[in-house]
């Protein structure tokens, strides 16, 4: 027994490229604390200087409530629009070959690289009453700039890549044999899409929707130029926060920011849950 044990090769610990767990965990926590936890903690602690009545008055004022409705409503509409057109764009990029395909594929990432202020100025120059497109629409009674419609358009612009880039890999990995089998069994195009294609891309669509929605909630640069910023009409919540800071109402600004932080944190939890569900459905390790 002893000779067998001596002859049996000893198991070696797997070689690690990075340092050990304790050291990497320490660096991780230090990095997160300096860049995330400490600034957010300061935000919360500043809000604690308010009494409950002051906090409630700061986060439920008429202008603040109107900004919530616009911010979350416009973000929801923009995310829903991006789900539809993002799926169509991803489908075209994956399933078809055409001249300029790489150029179109690169254009999808433009909102990622373009500064948001530049995007806002460009959309305003395009859709304003004297803009390239707005000058033809405004005589027809269609005004797209300096009102909530402009906010929705700006949020659609910055949120589209999230849906396309989330759905595109799933479509690339989809098995076309299943679609061909459904067609051979007599399924119509709609039945093939609704029962074969859509169930496979639904988790990715939900993830893309949640990411686009979360991105739109915190958007400021591209919206501020095209919104018009009229109180109770086209003011977004980030603008309310900026306004309170300019009035030196730091506690009120942090109170509204804490509300937005809470919603953003909930959205991140939803995104992580959707991504875990997607990996589970695809068989990948969670």
Is residue 264 within 8 Å of residue 218, measured between CB atoms?
A: yes
Two tokens, residue 50: 């308010």
Q: What angle is formed at CA 105 by the lines to CA 77 and CA 133, rounded to 5 degrees? A: 55
pLDDT, tens digit (0-9, with 9 covering 90-100), for 231-273: 888 889 998 999 888 888 888 899 999 998 888 888 778 777 8
Highest mean pLDDT among 70-74, 172-176, 195-199, 201-205: 70-74
- CA dist 111 to 103, 120, 156, Å? 14, 11, 10
pLDDT of 75: 93
| Mean pLDDT value across the chain | 83
Q: How confident is the model at residue 16 (pLDDT cuts 50, 70, 90)?
A: low
The pLDDT of residue 189 is above 70: yes
**Helix residue ranges, H only, the chain:** 2-7, 21-32, 38-47, 52-59, 62-95, 101-108, 110-113, 116-127, 134-137, 148-173, 176-184, 189-192, 198-217, 221-224, 237-246, 250-282
Contact of 120 with 154, CB cutoff 8 Å: yes
Give the separation between CA 119 and CA 157, rounded to whole angstroms: 8
DSSP, res 14: P
Asked if residue 145 lies in contact with residue 131, where contact means CB atoms within 8 angstroms, the answer is yes
pTM, 2 dp: 0.81
pLDDT band at 165 (very low <50, low <70, confident <90, very high): very high
pLDDT digits 0-9 by tens, 74-103: 999 999 999 999 999 999 998 888 888 899
Asked whether residue 39 carries a pLDDT value surpassing 90, the answer given is no
Task: Extract the tokens encoding 105.
Answer: 């594929």
With H, G, I as helix, E, B as strand and everything else as coil, classify residue 73: helix
Average pLDDT over residues 6-19: 55
Least confident span in 38-52, 57-71, 237-251? 38-52
Q: What domains are there in the chain, each with its CATH number? A: 53-282 (1.10.3720.10)
- What are the pLDDT digits (tens) for 111-143? 888 888 888 888 888 888 888 888 888 888 888
The winner for highest mean pLDDT among 13-22, 28-37, 87-96, 258-267 is 87-96
Pick the closest to residue 64 from 204, 253, 213 (CA basis). Answer: 253
């Amino acid at each position: 027994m002893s000779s067998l044990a001596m002859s049996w090769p000893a198991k070696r610990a797997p070689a690690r490229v990075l340092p050990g767990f304790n050291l990497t965990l320490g660096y991780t926590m230090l990095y997160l604390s300096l860049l995330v936890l400490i600034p957010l903690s300061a935000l919360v602690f500043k809000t604690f200087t308010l009494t409950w009545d002051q906090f409630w008055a700061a986060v439920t004022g008429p202008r603040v409530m109107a900004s919530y409705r616009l911010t979350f409503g416009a973000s929801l509409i923009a995310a829903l629009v991006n789900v539809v057109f993002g799926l169509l764009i991803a489908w075209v990029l994956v399933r078809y070959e055409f001249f300029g395909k790489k150029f179109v594929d690169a254009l999808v990432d433009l909102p990622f690289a373009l500064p948001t202020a530049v995007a806002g100025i460009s959309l305003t120059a395009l859709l304003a009453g004297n803009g390239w497109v707005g000058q033809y629409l405004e005589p027809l009674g269609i005004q797209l700039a300096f009102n909530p419609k402009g906010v929705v358009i700006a949020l659609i612009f910055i949120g589209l890549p999230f849906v396309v880039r989330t759905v595109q890999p799933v479509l690339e990995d989809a098995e076309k044999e299943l679609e061909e089998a459904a067609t051979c069994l007599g399924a119509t195009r709609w039945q093939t899409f609704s029962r074969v294609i859509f169930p496979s891309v639904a988790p990715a669509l939900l993830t893309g929707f949640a990411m686009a929605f979360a991105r739109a909630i915190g958007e400021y640069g591209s919206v501020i130029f095209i919104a018009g910023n009229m109180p109770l009409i086209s003011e977004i919540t980030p603008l309310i926060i900026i306004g309170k800071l300019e009035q030196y109402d730091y506690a009120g600004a942090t109170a509204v920011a804490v509300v937005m932080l809470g919603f953003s944190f909930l959205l991140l939890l939803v995104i992580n849950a959707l991504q875990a569900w997607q990996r589970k459905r695809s068989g990948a390790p969670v």
